[in-house]
Structure 1
Amino acid sequence: MYLIIILLSIPVLWAGCIFVLNVFKGNTIQGILLGILIFGMVSNVRFNIGYPNINIDMPFIILFIYNLALLAHMMLSSKINELKLDDISRTQLNRVILLLSSVLLVLFFQVYISQIYDIGLYSFHFNVFINLILLALFFYFLSVNQFSINTFFAVIVMYSICNSLLGVLQYVFNRSFLLSSASDSINYYEGAVVTKRVMGFVGASNGAGNLGAILFSVLLYYFLKKKNFFSGIALLLNILFVVLTFTRIGYLSIVIQCLIFVVFSKIRDKHQLLRRCLIGILSIFVGVIAYLIFFDDVYQILFINRGDTESNRFVQFNEAFRIMKENLWFGVGAGQYNSYIEANHGIQDIVLHSQFINILIEQGLISFILFSMIYIILFIWSTRVFKDDVWLPISLMIGNFIVVNFNPNQYYSMCILTFFILIYGLIFLKKTSVQEHVSNQSQHKIVTY
């Protein structure tokens, strides 16, 4: 029934999207489209396609409609030729899509090579990688349509503020307020005492910590550029949100991102150098004093009360690497690690707490190499685009790499999509911003003359 409704709705929504794009032109409408995509992402709504346990999520449907509508809009507005002019972006886009498509091809062959115990988890991973391809096309089309990076940042900041405020409400009222579990508490029972850990839109406290850490560097960049109340409150609320998740790896990620900012941000004069040195010395001094005074309290809260699970993760990784040798090239099957290890070795384990190791074990060495290449390409590409603020892509990429490898980020599709929204936005829309600046300068010269 859901499949029939979706199939009947797609042409109507596609036509409506084309109408809106052609009538209401400008950055605002494209920003609204991005906002709707994020809303679909946080809604966590999934539709069954007619087969048991095989579902597609809302972002897949939205991105599919958006890409078709944007392509039709460019054809109607004679912008289709611009797709052929931007050789650099198109070449890099083709590489990313080719690598992601290759990962999907490996997943497809797993149906015939590996034992698929849980088709629902398998289809979940397949859905995520399709979304990453559609998302890359979406941002490429937005760049051709001159979507401003300033509007992009404003949408991301609103997304972060809403997520942070939801987290504060969750902590105050001890309720999740999520569509699927509005009345559930946020109590965490794994430590010595029951602890409240907020979960934001993600629906999981570790995933919420990941999300806050992923957003941090972009929020910091926006604050440094704008230096207004809106940007400042967004940054502070996000930090508060991460604190309330009690996700220790999220704390570490933010600290590392701050260090990257200090090391890699440009120093324009000797006064700025002196100021940065003084801030660094003061921070170290305050950190040492805080460590000496509050170490026992912090250890009690973050490790005793909250629960210490780090050692268990490394034990898990050792077992996972042993399993890897049995299915080196194509893995045990996407989403199948727990079922495989129980069926073949009689071991009951939690999900792998590392996205990259999970890809290596479940999707094999081929997919691991392909996904690592995607990460490296995006890293190099983004640092070349942001030459003047190279700390931003470095901070974003390393901050994300830290959190995804100590939590089961492979099941936090919202965190995965958020990261790729940010990195695609920085890559494609930075170029658009430069083009707008050049165009404005040219117009100014004409008026002056």
Structure 2
Amino acid sequence: MAEAIVPEGIKKAAGSGEVPVLLSRVNDISEKRLVTTLGEWDRVLGGGLVPGSLVLVGGAPGIGKSTLLLQVAHLLSSRYGKILYVTGEESASQTRLRARRLGAEEGEIYLLAETNIEGVLLQIERLQPVVVMVDSIQTMLLPDIQAAPGSVSQVREGAARFLRLAKDGGPAVILVGHVTKEGFLAGPKVLEHLVDCVLYLEGERYQAYRILRSVKNRFGSTNEIGVFEMTGSGLQEVTNPSAMLMAERPAGVAGSSVVACLEGTRPLLLEIQALVSKTTFGNPRRLATGIDFNRALLLAAVLEKRAGLPLGGYDIYLNVAGGIAINEPAADLGICLAIASGLKDRPLESRTLVLGEVGLAGEVRAVTQLERRVEEAARLGFNRFIIPAGNRGGLKGQSGCEIYKVSTINEALRLALVNTGSGAGDNTLSNPFYKYS
């Protein structure tokens, strides 16, 4: 720590003995990150693991948390030295069996099959590792607390011990935490305010792709994601997730649109799917996966009121392909066009990208970092863009592309649907309940 300035006659406060330090003289940690060759892991952490930080990695059982951490431990040990991997759920032999499958046996990785936190702290003091990984915090216990391992008091106090270890000049500590049936970190959520960084490993257990998402990060963006593919030799990073997400998109299908959303510094192309079918009950159903449900209801109401679409007698099912959740309003126009396309059973042109926030008056509002989004789409072969008129200035380097600027949702509907080929059902644009016809 930088040298503190203590005025004459002022004594250090009781307790830790810390005194105020001039902000400009505090040591900078930005150049001291522990970087691996696993780029997706480093990206989510904001550029690498910060020494002395406490990181929580959560996820459902069997999703791949232990696999990911063993791979990270192998890469860190090859660069920085000793790594201590504390396994409370498996024996050392079981952990080595996984490491052999992953090709992560080499390097200074020390295994410790222990659940007593006091014993773990003693071995950390003796070994002096660079990074400590605890798998999992639910199995750790403090003998002086009269509660079972995994209880709220044991989990909270155990994490607090590791926090003090990290902040008192100790190693970086990575804790593994399981999630409950409700999707919260077991505790529940009592650890998130203690740690510096919270990462969630998401995905379907029986599907190949996994998403590492940052929901809290004191040293970087909280919007970054890392995409991995589960293989027989461990998790392999997907360096071009947009191409992966677009690979299985069906061509010429109604109710599908493509938007570009920003996840931290990375633009991702996502497919929004809408299934619109006539309801057989009195009240139409609304279901949204990957899209905020209330936002979906709001956009359906705008379409019905401002564009005259008769959605009151139709069920609407919305989905974001790939299991990624959309949280930004730049996808509003894409959701609206997917619903309209599904209602008319008329597909959008397959190489069309749609961007824009939709207001309650039916206006299309500007989005941020438009050029970065369009560049990502153009790189993957998209050549037709429907964007907000409020985004001033031209787009550089997009020669040969058709760029349409719209001010209202009716203009966007006319551009997206009028000039496409005929689909099934009643696709006549002269139908009087379509205001944009």
State the TM bucket, normalised to the shorter chain: under 0.3
TM-score between the two structures when normalised by the length of structure 2: 0.21
TM-score (norm 1): 0.21
More strand by share: 2
- In terms of fraction of residues, the more helix-rich structure is 1
